[in-house]
Amino acid sequence: MLRLALAALVATLAGCASTADRDPRDPLEPLNRRVYRFNDKVDQVIAQPVARTYRKAVPQEVRNGVRNFFGNIGDFFIGVNNFLQGKFEDGVGDWARVAFNTTIGLLGIFDIATDMGYEKHNEDFGQTFGWWGARPGPYLVLPLLGSSDLRDGVGTGLDMYSDPLGEVRPYHTQYALWGLRLTQTRADLLDASRILEEAALDKYVFQRDAYLQRRRSLVYDGHPPREKEPQNDDQKDSR
């Protein structure tokens, strides 16, 4: 949380000094780019090789089980967030997923709730703040965690604070579970990150814009209101 407070402070300072060329959504671009390069290095040196090995060594069925297991743990707070957003039917569905998958689905390893018609949702505290009307604020690249913004950064803090994995004892079991979840998540993103490499002229910009679009879509559950035409650099008066 200290990091976030610092980031917010820097954001305010940088806001005063930003140059005309800079994207108004990303006043901290120079700092963000530095963190991005660091994250990218860590990803190339550690996360990607581990994820690739994992995908090669572990059969698909087992990986599906791992994804489902952590997904089931996540569903509980996805439900909480749906309730906080007043989407009671979705929240009840999320908790029904937890109930069925934890029991009949053997601790969540099998996602039988989807087959029963309870679709998995994507919610977190950042989306809840957005639903309540919070603006994204400046775009941030968090160390190791990657793309975020001020609103989602605070949301991620809460997500992590409330994460049931944090309750697991002894600690080495907890760390092993975190490691496994990170590996599974990175393995699931291997294709997407390769496509990003291929598609982008400037990976940083491409990923940032995709993140901001994606989060906006998620806040509105896939139906964002039409945005005003993005301001163009040629139109001096636009904002």
Contacts with other proteins by CB under 8 A lie at: 21, 23, 64, 67-68, 71, 111, 114, 119-122, 188, 191-192, 194-195, 198-202, 205-206, 209-210, 213-214, 216-218, 222, 224, 230, 232-235
String of b and e for 163-197 (b: at least 16 CB within 10 Å)? beeeeeeeeeeeeebeeebebbebbeeeeebeeee
In sequence order, the 6+-apart residues with CB closer than 8 A to the CB of 239 are: 231
Query: In angstroms, what is the minimal distance from the CB of 170 to other proteins?
Result: 28
Q: Which CB sits closer to other proteins, 168 or 200?
A: 200
Q: Which CB sits closer to other proteins, 12 or 103?
A: 103
Separation between Cα atoms, residue 177 and residue 165, nearest integer Å: 8
Query: In angstroms, what is the minimal distance from the CB of 45 to other proteins?
Result: 20
Q: Which CB sits closer to other proteins, 5 or 220?
A: 220
Query: In angstroms, what is the minimal distance from the CB of 227 to other proteins?
Result: 8
Q: Which CB sits closer to other proteins, 156 or 184?
A: 184
Separation between Cα atoms, residue 158 and residue 63, nearest integer Å: 27
Helix (H) or strand (E) holding 125: helix 125-132
Query: In angstroms, what is the minimal distance from the CB of 184 to other proteins?
Result: 10
CA angle (191, 164, 123) in 5-degree steps? 55
Q: Which CB sits closer to other proteins, 12 or 217?
A: 217
Instruction: Check: CB of residue 32 under 8 Å from CB of residue 141.
Output: yes
Q: Which CB sits closer to other proteins, 6 or 199?
A: 199
Query: In angstroms, what is the minimal distance from the CB of 56 to other proteins?
Result: 15
String of b and e for 57-84 (b: at least 16 CB within 10 Å)? eeeeeebebbbbbbbbbbbbbbbbbbbb
Query: In angstroms, what is the minimal distance from the CB of 126 to other proteins?
Result: 15
String of b and e for 118-127 (b: at least 16 CB within 10 Å)? bebbebbbbb
